[in-house]
């Protein structure tokens, strides 16, 4: 009913067919300009923004580290293992840079602005991040900061040991003190 009244009003105001079309086009453009999205679209946008923020929290440090040290790592790889392996690492770090840019984490990005990504893009990006980012970061750390790499591996090994080394040491100290 509303659409019919809208069109009747424009039709009555038009002096000719071309005038009617002009007025109709102008009015539709004005309505389109001030159109508010339905709530479900807003909710979907909010959900996608939250997913971007979650991915930033989970992978932001690793992506930032890769972004910061990738050139140094590629250079070290070239010296250590040759141009072919360096080229392979560069392909991986370029992917990581791309993912960082998609999440708005590149140095040129405004960190307060949350990129607009579709659900399908977010799904694909999340899968890449889950499968590959830690491995790429590990290679960059190993080549640029070997001490940090060793520290991280030791912590990882300690967490996987049963019983924990700290528990074994505490029990040994208790046994010495009791006897």
Indicate the domain borders of the chain: 2-33, 42-144
pTM of the entire structure?
Answer: 0.62
Report the pLDDT value the prediction gives residue 20, as an integer from 0 to 100: 85
Determine the 3-state secondary structure of 116 from DSSP: coil
pLDDT digits (tens, 9 = 90+) for 88-134: 999 999 999 999 988 888 777 776 778 788 888 999 999 999 999 99
pLDDT-based confidence at residue 6 (cuts at 50, 70, 90): confident
| Range picked from 32-36, 47-51, 139-143, 163-167 for highest mean pLDDT | 139-143
pLDDT for position 140: 95
CB–CB of 140/69 below 8 Å?
Answer: yes
Diameter over CA atoms, the chain: 109
Nearest CA to 118 out of 57, 44, 55 is that of: 44
154: which residues sit within 8 A by CB, 6+ positions away? none
> What sections of the chain are H helices per DSSP?
2-13, 17-33, 39-81, 83-102, 119-128, 134-144, 146-160, 165-178
pLDDT reported for residue 128: 93
Question: Are the C-beta atoms of residues 141 and 61 closer than 8 Å to each other?
Answer: no
Alpha carbon of residue 62 to chain centroid: 11
pLDDT at res. 25: 87
48: Cα separation from own chain's centroid: 11
Q: Which residues are CB-contacts of 67 (< 8 A; sequence separation ≥ 6)? A: 96, 97, 100, 105, 106, 107
The residue that leads in pLDDT, 139 or 162, is 139
pLDDT (mean) for 1-26: 83
pLDDT tens column, 41-88: 555 668 888 998 899 999 999 999 999 999 999 999 999 999 999 999
Q: Crossing angle of helices 134-144/83-102, nearest 10°? A: 130
């Amino acid at each position: 009913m509303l659409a019919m009244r809208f069109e009747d009003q424009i039709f009555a105001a038009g002096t000719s067919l071309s005038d009617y079309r002009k007025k109709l086009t102008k009015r539709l453009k004005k309505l389109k300009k001030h159109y508010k999205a339905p709530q479900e679209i807003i909710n979907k946008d909010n959900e996608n923004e939250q997913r971007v923020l979650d991915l930033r929290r989970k992978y932001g440090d690793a992506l930032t580290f890769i972004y910061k040290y990738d050139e140094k790592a590629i250079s070290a790889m070239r010296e250590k293992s040759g141009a072919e392996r360096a080229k392979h690492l560069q392909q991986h770090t370029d992917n990581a840079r791309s993912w960082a840019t998609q999440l708005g984490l590149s140095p040129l990005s405004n960190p307060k602005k949350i990129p607009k990504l579709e659900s399908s893009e977010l799904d694909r990006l999340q899968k890449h991040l889950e499968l590959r980012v830690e491995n790429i970061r590990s290679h960059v750390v190993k080549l640029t900061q070997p001490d940090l790499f060793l520290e991280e591996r030791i912590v990882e090994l300690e967490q996987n040991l049963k019983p924990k080394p700290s528990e074994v040491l505490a029990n040994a100290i208790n046994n010495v003190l009791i006897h």
